[in-house]
Structure 1
Amino acid sequence: MSGAAVQATIQGEHQAPPAIELRDIHKSFGLVHANRGVSLSVPAGSITGIIGENGAGKSTLMSILYGLYEADSGEIRVDGKRVAIHAPRDAIAAGIGMVHQHFMLVDSFTVLENILLGSEGGPLLRRSMAGARRELERLEREYGLRVNPDALVGDLPVGEQQRVEILKVLYRGARILVLDEPTGVLTPQETDQLFRILSALSERGVTVILITHKLREIMAITDNVYVMRQGQIVAHRQTAATGREELAELMVGRKIRLGLDKSSCQPGDAVLQAEHLFFRDARGVTLVDDVSLAIHAGEIVGIAGVSGNGQSELLELLAGMRLPASGSIRLAGRQIDRDHPVDPAEMRRLGLAHVPEDRHRYGMVAQFEANETAILGYHREARFNQGVLLNRKAMVSHCSELMEQYDVRPRHAALDSRNFSGGNQQKLILAREIECSPKVLLVGQPTRGVDIGAIEFIHRELLRMRDAGCGILLVSVELDEVMALADRILVMFGGRIVGEVAGTEADERRLGLMMANAWPTANGDVAMNRAAS
Structure 2
Amino acid sequence: NVMLGHEQTKFGGRLDLAAARARVHEISKRFGFNVDPDALVEDLPVGVQQRVEIIKALSRDAKVLVFDEPTAVLTPQETDELMTTMRQLRDAGTSIVFITHKLREVREVADRITVIRLGKVVGEAEPTASNAELASLMVGRAVELTVHKDPPNLGDEALVVSGLTVTDDVGTVVVDDVSFSVHAGEVLAIAGVQGNGQTELTEAIVGLQDRVSGSARLNGRELAGRSVRDILDDGVGFVPEDRSVDGLVKEFSIAENLMLDRSHGEPFVSRGTIRQNALNDFAREKIEEFDIRTQGPAQPAGRLSGGNQQKVVLARELSRDLSLLVAAQPTRGVDVGSIEFIHTRIVAARDSGIPVLVISTELDEAAALADRIMVMYRGKVVGIVPGDTPREELGLMMAGMSGSSALGGETSA
Question: Could you state the TM-score of these two structures normalised by the residue count of structure 2?
Answer: 0.86
1:520 and 1:335 mapped to 2: Cα distance? 29
CA change 1:428–1:159 in 2 (3 A) is farther
3-state SS in 2 of match to 1:315: helix
Equivalent position amino acid for 2:50 in 1: Q
3-state SS in 1 of match to 2:373: strand
Equivalent position amino acid for 1:334 in 2: R
C-alpha displacement of 1:289: 1.7
C-alpha displacement of 1:351: 0.7
Equivalent position amino acid for 1:252 in 2: V
Gaps spanning 5+ residues in structure 2: where?
A: none
Partner of 2:101: 213
Q: Do residues 245 (structure 1) and 132 (structure 2) align?
A: yes
Gaps spanning 5+ residues in structure 1: where?
A: 1-110
For residue 298 of structure 1, the aligned residue among 166, 185, 206 is 185
3-state SS in 1 of match to 2:262: coil
Q: Do residues 187 (structure 1) and 78 (structure 2) align?
A: no
Partner of 2:366: 482
CA contact (8 A) 1:186 1:477 kept: no
Report 1:51-450 matches (<5 A).
111-112=1-2, 116-117=4-5, 119=6, 126-127=14-15, 132-171=20-59, 173-240=61-128, 242-323=129-210, 325-337=212-224, 341-385=225-269, 388=272, 390=274, 398-411=282-295, 413-414=297-298, 416-450=300-334
| CA offsets 1:243-298 (integer angstroms, 9 cap, x no match) | 22222222223322222221011111222111111222233322222212211111
CA contact (8 A) 1:518 1:526 kept: no
Equivalent position amino acid for 2:197 in 1: G
| CA offsets 1:495-525 (integer angstroms, 9 cap, x no match) | 2222121224x11111111221226988x99
Equivalent position amino acid for 1:375 in 2: M
| CA offsets 1:358-406 (integer angstroms, 9 cap, x no match) | 3333223455454444333433243444655656666565445434332
CA contact (8 A) 2:153 2:186 kept: yes
Q: Do residues 509 (structure 1) and 396 (structure 2) align?
A: no
2:34 and 2:301 mapped to 1: Cα distance? 41
2:202 and 2:46 mapped to 1: Cα distance? 20
C-alpha displacement of 1:315: 0.8
CA change 1:133–1:399 in 2 (3 A) is farther
C-alpha displacement of 1:461: 0.6
Question: Could you state the TM-score of these two structures normalised by the residue count of structure 1?
Answer: 0.68
1:125 and 1:273 mapped to 2: Cα distance? 62
CA change 1:288–1:207 in 2 (3 A) is same
2:19 and 2:189 mapped to 1: Cα distance? 47
CA change 1:397–1:181 in 2 (3 A) is farther
1:148 and 1:374 mapped to 2: Cα distance? 52
1:200 and 1:509 mapped to 2: Cα distance? 23
CA change 1:196–1:357 in 2 (3 A) is same
2:297 and 2:63 mapped to 1: Cα distance? 43
Equivalent position amino acid for 1:195 in 2: M
C-alpha displacement of 1:144: 4.0
C-alpha displacement of 1:189: 0.3
| CA offsets 1:43-68 (integer angstroms, 9 cap, x no match) | xxxxxxxxxxxxxxxxxxxxxxxxxx
CA change 1:170–1:369 in 2 (3 A) is farther
- RMSD across aligned positions (CA): 3.2
CA contact (8 A) 2:377 2:399 kept: yes
CA contact (8 A) 1:303 1:489 kept: yes
| CA offsets 1:309-355 (integer angstroms, 9 cap, x no match) | 22111111111111454211212442244xxx211111000111111
CA change 1:454–1:342 in 2 (3 A) is same
Equivalent position amino acid for 1:309 in 2: N
1:256 and 1:216 mapped to 2: Cα distance? 15
CA contact (8 A) 1:439 1:469 kept: no
CA contact (8 A) 2:205 2:223 kept: no
3-state SS in 1 of match to 2:15: helix
Partner of 2:349: 465
CA contact (8 A) 2:166 2:174 kept: yes
CA contact (8 A) 1:353 1:438 kept: yes
CA contact (8 A) 2:382 2:401 kept: no
Equivalent position amino acid for 1:263 in 2: D
- Of 389-398 and 226-235, the range deviating more from structure 2: 389-398
CA contact (8 A) 1:213 1:449 kept: no
Equivalent position amino acid for 1:493 in 2: Y
Equivalent position amino acid for 2:66 in 1: V
Give the percent of matched residue pairs that are identical in Structure 1 and Structure 2. 42
- Of 125-134 and 468-477, the range deviating more from structure 2: 125-134
For residue 378 of structure 2, the aligned residue among 479, 494, 497 is 494
C-alpha displacement of 1:174: 3.5
3-state SS in 2 of match to 1:382: coil
CA change 1:392–1:473 in 2 (3 A) is same
